[in-house]
Chains A and B, each alone.
Chain A
């Protein structure tokens, strides 16, 4: 692993009016890593991602991505140069409703990067196949389910061939049934070595795919470490209680059989 991280945040502070949201964030992401940021709502997780892509500007501290000092960027041209490198996937998909799925994938590469349209089209179709939506190229966003729209949004971010992708609670707006199909796409990306930073409430998923996990609360990093350490042996009491609730352990409800017992019920009843 290279010693120089791709993303480096140092003592990042940000407040909306008098309301401090980030109170000194330090965060490192190395190239090819998948890093998850977890924590209770309102702890500033999404704000960190927005700072990374220059949608928000911190009042204090330093943010570096590659060679770019993000907090120093002035003017639209410099921000555009940054955003060509950084993909962003939103909780609410935010596809362009007036464009077909294929056009959603084509518009930025052709208009922003000036890529050849035919070449961009081939790439877009390949990406749609990758997210298993090749058959929906001509559909409009309004005709797709939430999970399908989110997969298109991921493909749209990939079409820019970014160096890293930021995922902002991308499954929070989805029906439970659709969460799996979106996570499968993200898992594939991490396996291919795409640098990913995820804000997520899917703890099992974060545990499974992350190289590093950051736990935030009240605008601070409470602790961070490998997925195994954070989920298996958290140092801080606060992390421990959060994970207990988030993973549904230690609740008052009587424990139920594991889901796979239900799924395989047929097999059990056969033996009766």
Chain B
């Protein structure tokens, strides 16, 4: 009985594997896009211009305080299926919409991580640099940001793990990710024992991907604790 289920699982393994790759693709895309956007928004949070700061703060507040699932539905149904670029139509597949949907809250969180890291650098560093005739931009680039990057790394990795877990939501808008593949496998085989086994496998696969990230984060946190 058990070996029979294991054999069936082996049969479904390539499908599940492809599903996991889809999750990894979305998580890497979302954290990459979210980081770029987030750093940009984070820089705008530090702008000397009040209206720019207000816009950036609005971005952070909106996307940090919206449920991720809502944002995923939002991007899935607001964006068109394809986009016209010049004379050709470029497909805008569901997994990409989910990636954008996850990148939005990720960017808001990265912006906050960035702002927090900058704020954690003592004001005396600014003073010291200013008294050495650095300009504001130079202080940010040469003095503050290099000190921020190490402080940002652990919370950023933490966010990466959370975003990866968030990709599990993609199955709800029809992306063939790991959860969706598991569902299909469970429904097709239609044996309760196999259903239990396949979801345990899903759990194990997510854990195998996220746990190393969490461990690495812990190590970095110890290393960069001042």
Contact = CB atoms under 8 A, between A and B. Distances in A.
Interface in A71-103: 76, 79-81, 83-84, 86-88, 90, 92, 94-98
A228 interface: no
Interface stretch (B84-92, B129-137, B165-173): B129-137
Interface of A: 53, 55, 76, 79-81, 83-84, 86-88, 90, 92, 94-98, 107-108, 111-113, 156-157, 160
B51 interface: no
A94 B127 contact: yes
Interface string B108-135: 0000000000000000110111111111
Nearest to A89: B131
B46 to A, nearest CB: 15
30 contacts: A53-B131, A55-B127, A55-B131, A76-B135, A76-B136, A80-B134, A81-B133, A83-B130, A83-B131, A83-B132, A83-B133, A84-B133, A86-B131, A87-B131, A90-B131, A94-B124, A94-B125, A96-B143, A97-B147, A98-B146, A98-B150, A107-B142, A107-B143, A108-B133, A111-B138, A112-B132, A112-B134, A113-B133, A160-B132, A160-B133
B133 A112 contact: yes
Q: What range describes how many residues of B lie at the interface?
A: 10 to 19
B130 A55 contact: yes
A27 to B, nearest CB: 19
Contacts of B150: 98
Contact of B142 (A55, A79, A111): A111
Nearest to B137: A76
Contacts of A160: 132-133
Given A86-B131, A96-B129, A156-B132, 4 more contacts: A90-B124, A95-B128, A98-B147, A112-B138
- What 9 A-B pairs come out closest when comparing CB atoms? A94-B128, A88-B131, A83-B133, A108-B132, A84-B133, A94-B124, A80-B133, A112-B133, A98-B147
Nearest to B124: A94
Contact of A96 (B128, B130, B131, B133): B128
Main secondary structure of the interface of B (DSSP, over half): helix
A46 to B, nearest CB: 12
Nearest to B123: A94
A152 to B, nearest CB: 12
Interface of B: 124-125, 127-136, 138, 142-143, 146-147, 150
Contacts of B132: 83, 107-108, 112, 156-157, 160
Contacts of B138: 111-112
A125 B147 CA distance: 25
Contacts of B147: 96-98
Nearest to B145: A98
A204 B17 CA distance: 77
Contacts of A108: 132-134
A173 B11 CA distance: 70
Instruction: Give the residue among B133, B138, B143, B150 with the most A Cβ atoms within 10 A.
Output: B133
A49 B83 CA distance: 61
Nearest to A108: B132
Given A92-B124, A94-B127, A111 B134 contact: yes
Contacts of B143: 96, 107
B1 to A, nearest CB: 60
A94 B124 CA distance: 6
A80 B135 contact: yes
B27 to A, nearest CB: 30
B206 to A, nearest CB: 36
Contacts of B134: 80, 108, 111-112
Contacts of B125: 94, 96
A65 B134 CA distance: 19
Contacts of A83: 130-133
Nearest to A95: B128
A79 B131 CA distance: 9
A80 B131 CA distance: 8
